[in-house]
Structure 1
Amino acid sequence: MYQMFPLLAISLIIFAVLSLTGAAGPEWWEITFVELPMVSTDVWNVTWGDVFLLASMGLLFVELLRSTKTGSDSIMNHALSVVVFVVSLLLFIIVKGFGNSVFFLFMSMTFLDFMAGFIVTTVTARRDLSVGGGVSA
């Protein structure tokens, strides 16, 4: 059950809840999380949007590792990843509060997740078929 659930759906739900409820304030992704002074005397302003993207990239990494497995759970995960991408795309285009760079980058991660999953699964299946000798006629 857990193997087929796309982890980026967690990020999508968090972004949607924070944006639609306004619980963290309007445009929460632009609120400064921390200001870090640099040696160059610059100040690096890390926003909540940056933290969201960093956490989502961590989930994307785990998804890419999971995409190397074959089986029915993996295929269902890829199908659900397509759903996450389509929902993200629709939110980005249609719903107020989702048309920003932070969500666009997240949506791009959902696209990479399902594309990489299908490609890795296809390559792995081909390799398994060629190692096994394929189907004889």
Structure 2
Amino acid sequence: MFSMVPLLVISLILYTIGLFAGGGEQAFIDRIFLDPTLVSGNKWQITFGDAFLTLSMGLLFIELLRATETGTDSLVNHSLSALLFVAALLLFIIMPGFGNSVFFIYMLMTFLDFMAGFIVTTKAARRDFGVS
């Protein structure tokens, strides 16, 4: 059951919670998450938006690895990934707080997830059936 759900849903849930619990779009995205000092003496300010995108990229990497699997679960996963992209697109266009560069990059990740899933599955099926 868990293998069918796209992991990028976790990012969407976290973004939504952060948006509504964090006091609005800019308060959530621009709030400092970490503020480490590097060996060079530079201060590296990592915002919640940066942390959100980093987490989402990690989940996208796992999703791309999962895209290499074949079977019914993977087809359902790819279909749900397409629905996730459509939902992210609609949120980006319609809902306040979602129309920013951070969420746009996340939306592109959802697009990449479902496109890569379908392409990898198609290529694997062609190889399995010997279609050239």
Provide TM-score, normalisation by structure 1.
Answer: 0.88
1:25 aligned to which of 19, 23, 34: 23
CA deviation digits over 1:59-86, x for unaligned, max 9? 1111111110111110000000000000
Aligned to 1:115: 115
Q: Distance in 2 between matches of 1:66 and 1:58?
A: 13
Question: What pairs with 1:56-67 in structure 2 (closer than 5 Å)?
Answer: 56-67=56-67
Larger helix share, 1 or 2: 2
Question: What pairs with 1:1-137 in structure 2 (closer than 5 Å)?
Answer: 1-19=1-19, 21=20, 23-26=21-24, 27=26, 28-130=28-130
Q: Which runs of 5+ in 1 are unaligned?
A: none
| Aligned residue-pair number | 129
In the alignment, residue 121 of structure 2 is paired with which amino acid?
T
What is the deviation of 1:101?
1.1
In the alignment, residue 44 of structure 1 is paired with which amino acid?
W
CA deviation digits over 1:13-35, x for unaligned, max 9? 1112222x2x1222201101112
Q: Which has the larger radius of gyration?
A: 1
What is the deviation of 1:11?
0.8
Q: Distance in 1 between matches of 2:22 and 2:17?
A: 9
- The RMSD of aligned alpha carbons is 1.3
In the alignment, residue 107 of structure 1 is paired with which amino acid?
M
What is the deviation of 1:39?
4.1
Q: Which runs of 5+ in 2 are unaligned?
A: none
Larger strand share, 1 or 2: 1
Which moves more between the two structures, 35-44 or 93-102?
Answer: 35-44
Q: Distance in 2 between matches of 1:66 and 1:38?
A: 35
